[in-house]
Chains A and B, each alone.
Chain A
């Protein structure tokens, strides 16, 4: 079985994230890392591999992003993925989810031409764009079913069943491979790379593909042809700190109640 995990390289959410003058996300000024939510996807891919018996499953980490984004692939390799693919091309810069999903789909197809891909595993959302649409778009482009937002995954033969906490119900969803799967942060903590894993990762195959390798026309992706346009980005003024009181013998509750009454919440 072949699993491709889509891993995105994102600006660190705990740093001061910004926009560039062209309103694209600043991916240079802020340290980047493998999106934490994609670590859960890598973890689930590795668990599927372990459950099936190591030798039968190959896990490939796939990332679309600039030069530095290869770090996301490296991290996945350190965690235990077998192979890496980094799609990098200047023309991709500024792509929206539509463009990104096109490049990802073509990369999956190219990988699949060598050996059939059974599962494409994604995170529930990227921590920067946070759209949660790339998995659905990928499924649409590949004409595959999608089983998304999984907290529990079970697979048997070519069947996959997931459990998920939907908006209004807890559901069990089933589909047969090939399929696109996405997992939430409820699926179980991701492992840390071990020292052995870090050393082993250095020897693992890591391919770098350009758009022409994928047969994608540079004119079909990137900022200038994105199907959406950001007009303006404005930093939200920081909230100014209000009154802080120390509770002493019930004074806190009284002050709190008075504050709420003054704002007409009571």
Chain B
């Protein structure tokens, strides 16, 4: 069976959940090979993890020489691996960096690229959600090695022991690829809450919070959810951009999305419209967000949310 390369999504060697989703998808398409570009010293830990989700091979590309540079060296490494292995498809996490690696790789390999797939089946045939979630599109790559970037939560990770045979791979990185240098990097502080991308429940606040996110955070904590925000809240400086949901923020598709003090502009909908269940709390009964909801409360979030938080906490006992 032919190899399907999966670029491991990790943070300093800590494997992130989308990696397992990609490996699960890779198994539908062929033989999963994980590609770990990172600190070689942390490889054995990574190998143990990806093996559990079916990685037959793990290519370890030590990044000592390239970690200070943006995108291009990783695209070169993947190109060389794709050529060496005659991979039949390449799966990459749909992050900012992942999409850019995929873009460069597509040109290098002369291969078609599909971004932001929410499902990938044999073929490979991809499913994407487009136009702010108002259309579903299926597509396939018709030239070269299909390169597909896959959104988080596009598959349920399935455990299945792979051989996990390790192969060290030394990529030849050109000087031209070292043009964009990472001068400084400040990791984001962990919030202690679930990651917005991965959370089953998301509670978001907008301009209607008036800048006080405590009711949002407390309700999120009561439900065990992540906190999100509208761009109006982010632009007002009430919360970081990493929490923004929407066209220019994150696209989430949780089991439950709660929008409080958010009007429901098309750009916000673009990031949450495909959530399974949608709930809104808004003072204005005419707010467009109510068109989308499974359940809506016309009321002041500053009283409704704290009361609901208390009720939820009580039920949990």
The chain A residues found within 8 Å of chain B, CB to CB, are: 13-14, 17, 19, 23, 37, 96-98, 101, 124-125, 127-128, 130-137, 139-141, 143-149, 151, 161, 165-176, 179, 184-186, 226-236, 239, 241-247, 250, 252-257, 259-261, 263, 265-266
Contact = CB atoms under 8 A, between A and B. Distances in A.
Nearest to A248: B299
Contact of A173 (B142, B183, B315): B183
Given A171-B183, A232-B137, 10 more contacts: A140-B72, A146-B72, A165-B241, A179-B179, A228-B112, A228-B142, A235-B134, A241-B292, A242-B296, A263-B277
A236 B135 contact: yes
B100 A146 contact: yes
Given A137-B104, A227-B111, A265 B223 contact: yes
Main secondary structure of the interface of A (DSSP, over half): mixed
B180 A146 contact: yes
A145 B181 CA distance: 9
A263 to B, nearest CB: 6
Contacts of A131: 99, 103, 115-116
Nearest to B292: A239
Interface string B225-261: 0000001000000001110000110000001100000
A246 B99 contact: no
17 contacts: A13-B247, A98-B113, A140-B72, A147-B70, A169-B185, A173-B182, A179-B179, A185-B248, A228-B141, A233-B137, A241-B291, A252-B298, A253-B308, A254-B311, A256-B297, A265-B223, A266-B312
Nearest to B231: A185
B298 A171 contact: no
A127 B130 CA distance: 10
A59 B279 CA distance: 46
Nearest to A242: B294
Interface in B126-149: 129-144
B106 A234 contact: no
A179 B295 CA distance: 49
A17 B95 contact: no
A149 B113 CA distance: 20
Main secondary structure of the interface of B (DSSP, over half): mixed
Nearest to B137: A233
B96 A257 contact: no
A241 B304 CA distance: 20
Contact of B140 (A127, A185, A228): A228
B35 to A, nearest CB: 18
Contact of A227 (B138, B144, B223, B307): B144
A176 B181 CA distance: 10
A149 B256 CA distance: 29
Contacts of B310: 253
B183 A161 contact: yes
A239 B264 CA distance: 14
B108 interface: yes
